[in-house]
Amino acid sequence: MSEVKQTHSEPGWFTRLAHPGLFLGWSRHIVIPLAGLSTIAFAIGLYLAFWGSPADYQMGDTVRMMYVHVPAAWLSQFCYALMFASAIGTLVWRHPMADVSQKAAAPLGALFTALALFTGALWGRPTWGTYWEWDGRMTSTLVLLLIYLGIIALWRAFDDQLKAARIVAVFTLIGAVNIPIIKFSVDWWHTLHQPASVFRLDGPTIAPEILTPLLAMTLAFSLLFMLLHLVRMRTEVRKRRVRSLELAQARAAKGARP
Amino acid sequence: MKGLKAILLRDLRLGLRQGGDLLTLLLLFISVGILVPFAIGPDTPLLARLAPAIVWVAALLAQLLTHDRLFRADFEDGSLIAFHHAAIPLEAIVLAKLAIHWILTGLPLMAATPFLAVMLGMDMTMLGRALFALLLGTPALSAFVALSASVTVGLKRGGLVAPVLILPLTLPVLIFGAGMMGDDTFGAASQAGLFLAALSLASVALTPFAAALALRVSGE
Amino acid sequence: MIELGQHWEFIALAYGGTALAVLAAIAWTCIDAERTKAHLKVLEAARAARETR
């Protein structure tokens, strides 16, 4: 069943584990448990977020929005870190699964970054009185979203997926170097134009009764992310096989097969 | 060294011979600068206040749209493959091309800035600061354009992807460039100038490596 | 249902929008996976038919 792709086959366990054909085999057994785990985590997290935790004495019930906002923001950065690691895998080891991982992660990163902005805007309205504040954190998240969308556009622009993976990997590395610079410049720009009138998250320490639901929801979102990433990777491996089979079919139909 | 000089001269000559490109660049820069007053209205004090932003956005757009000129022709006629096997490292060739790109786009933009300054009601000191800011910032813009050009060189329809990719990354140049032309009461403008210079130096130093990597992948 | 205070509509919108987006992502991922799987099955059957011929 599994069609062998041409990879440099070192006999290490990791390489064998990450071989596209074998990947489809072992990852199948993880999907259902992971789905179950993330469902349970969401049930616990949502319970803690609404019933198991008190309203904040300053922000009131709006603090409950933090339990979706912070996990989304965390995933927006975690996903870039994942893409960065995969990009290195693509460039250094030229591993096909690193290519697949990069491609599967980009839309998820865009989704969670967009969610972080959406929930951030909704949280900002009652607490700051405005949906959008040009503050450093929000602006850099917006730029991160643009970078994700650019990466998706770059993926879609290529026909040759092998070349696309390596080009996107180069761009992902460039982006990783630039994101801190962008963050710094945006912070500088913000302090220049609006001297200290903004609500800061890092001011008071977070109370434990808020931290518990926060951690539970972050875990739930992370599990969901891993699940979606895994399923998308499996689909992507299959899509590549579909593509090579389609090419073979086209060749056979023309009778030009050797 | 001799080969590098030959490439520099070749690119310079090729760029200057296609005078139309230079004209298009300047027209684009000036058109963007002129469009804004039409959108806002002939409010001179407001325009003077917005002038730094207008100059930078115009420069950004004009330089971005020249990305095709960096590697595209070399990719299409096969020179790029020859460069891969040249005795000079590809990184050095990219650096040479980057320098030529700046001479052919950054310098003309600075030359056209006085014209925009008159239109937008900037005074002499403001013009001087604008020119200085452009001098410090355009190398970084050229470097970012080279990055996006190297990433999209293998694409037939790469024309629109490149600006989309590179616009978010040019944000620091825009911020510090416009900041350098802003209020200097707290030393913010001079600070911006330092950051802008650092950004230019770092991006010009690092871009050849990243761009050469992307070009190698595209040429495979 | 619990009391969410004066800003309940923002909280509801934040959770509702997130749930909608996440569910859409899950649905899309599943549909894409199933479609690809079915497509692959057809193609592999076609290849097997070609090779036995």
Which residue from C minimizes the CA distance to A52?
A: C2
C53 confidence band (pLDDT: 50, 70, 90): low
Q: What residue spans define the domains of chain B?
A: 2-219
Give B-chain residues touching A173 at CB under 8 angstroms: 210
In a domain, A5, yes or no: no
Residue of chain A nearest B206, judged by CA positions: A174
Q: Is B176 on the interface with A (CB under 8 A)?
A: yes
| ipTM reported for the complex surpasses 0.90 | no
CA-nearest residue to A153 within chain B is B161
- Domains of chain C, by residue range, sit at 25-53
Across the interface, which of B161, B206, B213 has its CB nearest the CB of A170? B213
Q: Which residues of C touch A69 (CB under 8 A)?
A: 14
Overall number of domains in chain A: 1
**Are B165 and A143 inside 8 Å of each other by CB?**
no
Helices (H), chain B: 2-17, 19-40, 44-64, 68-77, 79-84, 90-101, 107-119, 124-152, 161-166, 171-180, 188-219
Q: Which stretch, A123-127, B192-196, C31-35, has highest mean pLDDT?
A: C31-35
Stated as kind and residue range, the H or E segment containing B184 is: none
Residue A248 domain-assigned? no
Residues A183-201, mean pLDDT to the nearest whole number: 65
Q: Is the pLDDT of residue A200 over 60?
A: no
Q: What tokens appear for B168 in the block?
A: 């978010």
- A252 found inside a domain: no
What integer is the mean pLDDT of B109-133? Answer: 89
Phi, psi of B37 (to 5 degrees): -55, -35
Q: What is the 3-state secondary structure (H, E, C) of A233-247?
A: HHHHHHHHHHHHHHH
pLDDT for position B84: 80
Structure tokens, A254 = 């023309």
A107: in domain: yes
Q: How many CB atoms lie within 10 A of CB A196?
A: 7
pLDDT band at A195 (very low <50, low <70, confident <90, very high): very low
- The amino acid sitting at B68 is D
Q: Is the pLDDT of residue A196 over 70?
A: no
Q: Is B46 on the interface with A (CB under 8 A)?
A: no
Amino acid at residue number A15: T
Predicted confidence (pLDDT) at residue B107 exceeds the cutoff of 80 = yes
Provide the residue count of chain C: 53
Does a structural domain hold residue A25? yes
CA dist A164 and A243 (Å) reads 15
Q: What is the pLDDT of residue B70?
A: 81
DSSP state letters, B91-104: HHHHHHHHHHHIII
Calculate the average pLDDT of chain A.
83
Q: Which two tokens stand for residue B74?
A: 């070399």
C-alpha span between B101 and B146 (Å, rounded): 9
Question: Taking CB atoms and an 8 Å cutoff, what residues of chain B touch A106?
Answer: none
Query: Are the beta carbons of A122 and C44 separated by less than 8 Å?
Result: no
Q: What is the pLDDT of residue A4?
A: 46
Residue of C nearest to A245 (CA): C43
Among the listed residues A33, A28, A80, A51, the one whose alpha carbon sits nearest the alpha carbon of residue A223: A33
Task: Please report residues of B whose CB lies closer than 8 A to that of A157.
Answer: 152, 155, 157-158, 161
- H/E stretch holding A93 reads none
The angle that helices A96-128 and C8-52 make with each other, rounded to 10 degrees, is: 160
pLDDT at C3: 63
All residues of chain A having their beta carbon less than 8 Å from the beta carbon of residue B158 are 157
Residue A27 buriedness (CB in 10 A; 0-12 / 13-18 / 19+): middle
Q: State whether A167 and B199 contact (CB < 8 Å).
A: no
Residue A251 lies in a domain: no
The pLDDT of A71-99, averaged and rounded, is 92
B-interface mutation test, from A168, A171, A183, most B Cβ less than 10 A away: A171
Nearest to A231 among C5, C6, C33 (CB): C33
